[in-house]
Amino acid sequence: MTETAFIQGPVPAEKISDTIARHQSMAQIGAHSLFLGQVRADEVDGKTVTAIEYSAYEEMAGKELEKIREQTISEYGLISAQVYHSLGEVKTGQICFFVFTCSAHRRAANEACRFMVDEIKDKVPIFGKEIFEDESHQWKVNR
């Protein structure tokens, strides 16, 4: 990957528009698919999540993300793929995860995007502490 996949804090909207703009010079692309993960105000035992604090085993997570990106590009014949994930605090309503896939036609871009999101959730050592309004917390587990 040409730049780090990790962003301190929420993924800014500019990161998404910049990524789209950067791919406009690749004229062989006919379809982009993108996934945005947003922090949800889950309710647990009457308490509401206000933010998630993300951390990662960065050395391993970086390698796993790159492996998944390369595998996805190769299996789906993509022209490009990008992934960004937040570290640190991301408040409810903010974006914590951005996956972007580009191909000649829509089907490959759509399927690859879904595959990449699932693989990252399953295989990349990222951890999330859900913070409640009373400052107590619980650890998020992907299902």
How far is it, in rounded angstroms, from Cα 22 to Cα 50?
Answer: 33
Beta strands in the chain (DSSP E): 6-8, 31-38, 43-44, 47-56, 80-91, 95-103, 126-132, 137-139
Residue with Cβ nearer another protein (27 or 141): 141
State yes or no: residue 140 binds another protein (CB under 8 A): yes
Query: Minimum Å distance from CB 29 to another protein?
Result: 25
Residue with Cβ nearer another protein (12 or 62): 62
Contact, 54 vs 127, CB < 8 A?
yes
State yes or no: residue 97 binds another protein (CB under 8 A): yes
State yes or no: residue 127 binds another protein (CB under 8 A): yes
Q: Which residues of 28-44 are buried (b: 16+ CB within 10 A; e: fewer)?
A: ebebbbeeebebeeeee
Contact, 106 vs 24, CB < 8 A?
no
State yes or no: residue 135 binds another protein (CB under 8 A): no
Q: Which stretch binds another protein (CB under 8 A): 7-15, 74-82, 106-114, 115-123?
A: 115-123
Pick from 109, 100, 114: nearest CA to 30: 109
State yes or no: residue 114 binds another protein (CB under 8 A): no
> Total residues contacting another protein (rule CB under 8 A)?
26
- Binder among 2, 25, 45, 139 for another protein (CB under 8 A): 139
Q: Where do contacts with another protein occur on this chain (CB under 8 A)?
A: 37, 54-57, 59-60, 63, 85, 96-97, 117, 120-129, 139-142
